[in-house]
Amino acid sequence: MIQTLSRNNLIILVVIVAAIWLLPLVLNSLWIKVVTSAVIFGLAAAGISVLFAQLGLINLSQIALVGIGGWVLLRLNYATGLPFTISLVAGGIITAIISSILALPALRMRGLYLALVTLMTAGAFQIIFNAFQFPNGGEGFWGVAQQSAGAFRRPLIAQSDVSYLRYVLTVAALCIAVAGVHRLTTPGRAWAMIRQSEANAMAAGIDVTFFKMWAFALSGFMAGIAGGLLAGALQQLDARTFVASDSILLFALAIVGGVYHWLGALIAGLLFKLLPALFNDFGVSADLTLVIFGAALLHAIMTAPRGIAGQILSGFAGLVKHRETSHD
Amino acid sequence: MIDVKNLTVRFGGVVALNQLTLKITDDVVGLIGPNGAGKTTLTNALSGFVTVASGSASVNGLNLIDMAPHQRSRWGLARSFQKVQIVSDLTVEDHLATVLDAKGANRSLRDKAIVRALDYAGILSVRRVRGVDLNPFQRRLTEIAKCLVGAPRVILLDEPGGGLSETEMKELRKVILGIHPEFGAQILLVDHDVELIRDVCTSTAVLDFGKLIAYGPTAEVLEDEVVKAAYLGRMGAAND
């Protein structure tokens, strides 16, 4: 088992490195931007998966948390001279703290009720973002300038769009690796026990409150990093990006992509950002994607609980098995 | 020694445990009584899953009632559930590892502790099998093995014999009997199966309507007329 695990990890590593170096070479400037935001929202979807796959909790406020991470990064960019990466991590940590505070209702609720509470939160942040906008170099705490925007600093190693895509891919891969390590170690086991039965988890000595808040913090951290990366990609943020309905859409797409594997989150990000752009490119209304997403969600719920990623991986596993048996 | 004093638990208007006082000194003690007598309520009160209205429950002088459930577990109170709680996507050894995670067990000792408990329970061969692929008896043994890691002081077993076959019961009896000599924990065994209680428990307490109606050496208790009337008699009447 350990051998197959390390072989899989090796394949994953090769794919990631290849993607980081190859993708920017084959894409033109428009598609580099699209793929960058697809990867960023894939990272946010991976945060949704942590909560849903590990604890069975539905969080419909992920896009709002992405907005918080973006807000913090922009705020730090204009208020301080900190390097981009440090602001990015700070945004992730602050979002993680806010996310774990939002977890407090989740200690008592699950299912539909938790979904509703998180959706209300998303709605509240939508209003806050609309009212105060995102910092762009202005005065005061909210930092919104009416006329010209201030200077935005990208990371020194990633000034161009091409190198920034590489930066985004690297950061996203690191975050998803951190979540993967969680799955395989103490928190992953504790989450699995809690998902099964909280009484059973407590009887095993697990501090249920702590581990639930930890899951929300990790999920929020990933959203916060995604928000910071998005701010860096666009160099400014607009309140219209962070509407509550998009949180629902991203959650649905995380299910469609598959919550049990990082590949599913990547697929969710691609569906969320790449598909509408492709439709636009073909001259078809991007709203049509909603119809496809609806059908895909029904398909996932009815026949593919592990999502598209699950189907791809089991197909791949079948292929490997077939080859191995034909070798014998 | 488990020392329960004037323990009262209420669910709304129902008094599930009524001023229960019980001193448990033997190594393996049985707890029996008809349905609704308060057996599971007592185990839940000891492990912290129900709110106690009044009274105390202390083990070796430490009052458990003030501690959160997970703290009691870390202190050394292990329990199994009436309905087996096995996580389908965790392996057998991962189930035991969660207990050791919570107790902050040393990494090098962890593997030894897991192997020892699994070997004792006779399920070492399935240590890397996931919960979903276990048969009911292996699930039951996994739950018991989970109670054995991390130096338990008291083990509460809530109907471990439920739904097992004759041969499996025989195996289970052996496992339960060996726990105290091997791991040193005191055992409180709740079960409907009088045969199991007779075979493994040196003393037995009988509850009825939240009150202790008999307590003493198992053989004497089971012959007690009050117990027969409350427990066996009533069961006989129900069968008629």
The DSSP code sequence of A154-190 is --TT--SHHHHHHHHHHHHHHHHHHHHHHHHSHHHHH
Specify burial of residue A93 (Cβ count, 10 A radius: 0-12, 13-18, 19+): middle
Which chain A residues are Cβ-neighbours of B99 within 8 angstroms? 204-205
Instruction: Give the model's pLDDT for residue A8.
Output: 67
How far A208 CA sits from the closest chain B CA (Å)?
8
Instruction: Give the model's pLDDT for residue B234.
Output: 55
C-alpha distances (whole Å) from A150 to each of A67, A72, A77, A79 are 19, 16, 10, 11
The β-bridge partners of B4 are B22, B57
Instruction: Give the model's pLDDT for residue B225.
Output: 82
pLDDT along chain A (328 residues), means of 10: 57 77 82 91 96 91 95 91 93 96 81 89 93 82 73 84 90 93 92 91 92 95 96 90 92 92 90 90 87 89 86 80 67
Beta-carbon separation of A207 and B70 below 8 A: yes
Residues B207, B213 contacting (CB under 8 angstroms): yes
| pLDDT, tens only, B124-167 | 999 999 999 999 999 999 999 999 998 899 999 999 988 889 89
Residues A77, A138 contacting (CB under 8 angstroms): no
Boundaries of domain holding A22:
2-138+158-244
Residues B13, B166 contacting (CB under 8 angstroms): no
Q: Which residues neighbour A288 within 8 Å (Cβ) at sequence distance 6 or greater? A: A279
Give the residue among B29, B10, B5 at the shortest CA–CA distance from B217: B29
Give the residue among A82, A78, A90, A81 at the shortest CA–CA distance from A143: A78
Write down the ipTM of this complex.
0.85
What is residue B158's three-state secondary structure?
strand
Beta-carbon separation of A205 and B146 below 8 A: no
Residue showing tokens 């040393």: B106
Cα(A246)–Cα(A196) distance, rounded to whole angstroms? 30
Q: What are the phi and psi torsion angles at A164 (to 5°)?
A: -70, -35
Q: Is residue A268 part of a domain?
A: no
C-alpha distances (whole Å) from B123 to each of B29, B88, B118, B165 are 25, 17, 5, 17
Residue of A189, A193, A202 lying closest to B69 (CB–CB)? A202
Q: Is residue A325 part of a domain?
A: no
Residue showing tokens 């161009």: A160
Which chain B residues are Cβ-neighbours of A202 within 8 angstroms? 47-49, 68-70, 73
Instruction: Give the model's pLDDT for residue A159.
Output: 84
Which chain B residues are Cβ-neighbours of A199 within 8 angstroms? 49, 69, 81, 85
How many domains does the structure of chain A reveal?
1
Among all residues of chain A, which has the CA nearest to that of B92? A189
Cα(A113)–Cα(B72) distance, rounded to whole angstroms? 31
Interface test with B, best of A183, A189, A209, A260 (most B CBs within 10 A): A189
Average pLDDT over every residue of B184-207? 90
Instruction: Give the model's pLDDT for residue A107.
Output: 79
Can you read off the two tokens belonging to residue B70? Answer: 């997970």
Residue of A192, A200, A206 lying closest to B81 (CB–CB)? A200
What is residue B226's three-state secondary structure?
helix
The β-bridge partners of B9 are B17
Cα(A294)–Cα(A287) distance, rounded to whole angstroms? 12
Interface test with A, best of B70, B75, B88 (most A CBs within 10 A): B70
What is residue B160's three-state secondary structure?
coil
How big is chain A by its Cα radius of gyration, in Å?
A: 20
- CA B138 distance to own-chain centroid: 17
Beta-carbon separation of A192 and B89 below 8 A: yes
Residue of A189, A197, A207 lying closest to B85 (CB–CB)? A197
Q: Is residue A60 part of a domain?
A: yes
Task: Quote the longest CA-to-CA distance of chain A.
Answer: 72
Cα(A9)–Cα(A262) distance, rounded to whole angstroms? 12
Instruction: Give the model's pLDDT for residue B236.
Output: 47
Instruction: Give the model's pLDDT for residue B238.
Output: 44
Q: Is residue A7 part of a domain?
A: yes
| pLDDT, tens only, B76-92 | 999 999 888 899 889 99
Q: Is residue A217 part of a domain?
A: yes
The enclosing H or E element of B205 equals: strand B203-208
How big is chain B by its Cα radius of gyration, in Å?
A: 18
Q: Is residue A162 part of a domain?
A: yes
Average pLDDT over every residue of B39-52? 91
Residue showing tokens 């509460």: B156
Highest mean pLDDT among A217-231, B52-66, B95-109: A217-231
Which chain A residues are Cβ-neighbours of B79 within 8 angstroms? 203
| pLDDT, tens only, B10-40 | 998 888 999 999 999 899 999 998 888 888 8
